[in-house]
Amino acid sequence: MKYNFVTIEGNIGAGKTTLANLLSKHYNARLILEEFADNPFLPKFYENPDQYAFPLELFFMAERYKQLKELLQTKDLFQSVTISDYLFTKCLLFAKVNLPEEEFRLYQKLFEIINPQIVQPDILIYLHAPVQKLQENIKKRNRGYEQNIPNDYLFNLQETYTQYIKQHNIKTLFVDASNADFLENEKHMEIILEALDKEYETGQYYLSLP
């Protein structure tokens, strides 16, 4: 394995956690998963986004910071690779979509204080799937509060992610996950594993899953 810290990102329902789990087993890696279920504001946000967006995003940022800081500072002699199913910058991207301008500016100031303390991944795997595929995956996993997420919201998140990746120097495997089935299709996992066995310059590299 050529990378010590691999992060998987993508929209809601893109398959981040599934792929992170499979990669961590394959590489015997430490696994960092987003603890979204612990956020008490998440169900309330989907019911009333205007009222709960700011506390939702503050809670997520604090929890992500605490989790990444603790796990990445702890040396593990038996597991040199770490796999995460979120990028800390996710805080800023979701806040940009969810918050009004004044609240976003305040949030951005807090983010800019915290972000330099976070270890950045050696490589990012971004799973890009069309909104229809995302909605199908969301329905399958059947979390009650997610069942009425509007298509426009998912599309805005998608655009925000892709713009960020294209504007920043991040070593990224940009995966077309329209047909992704990492659990049932061994070929899809092989493509990801083969890609991670190569060394890349900074930039975006595109993979498709047939």
Which residues are known to be catalytic?
85
Dist. CA 51–CA 28, nearest whole Å: 42
Dist. CA 169–CA 146, nearest whole Å: 32
DSSP element (H, E) containing 208: strand 204-208
Dist. CA 45–CA 131, nearest whole Å: 20
Do 8 and 16 meet the contact criterion of CB atoms below 8 Å apart? yes
Residue of 210, 177, 175 lying closest to 196 (CA atoms):
175
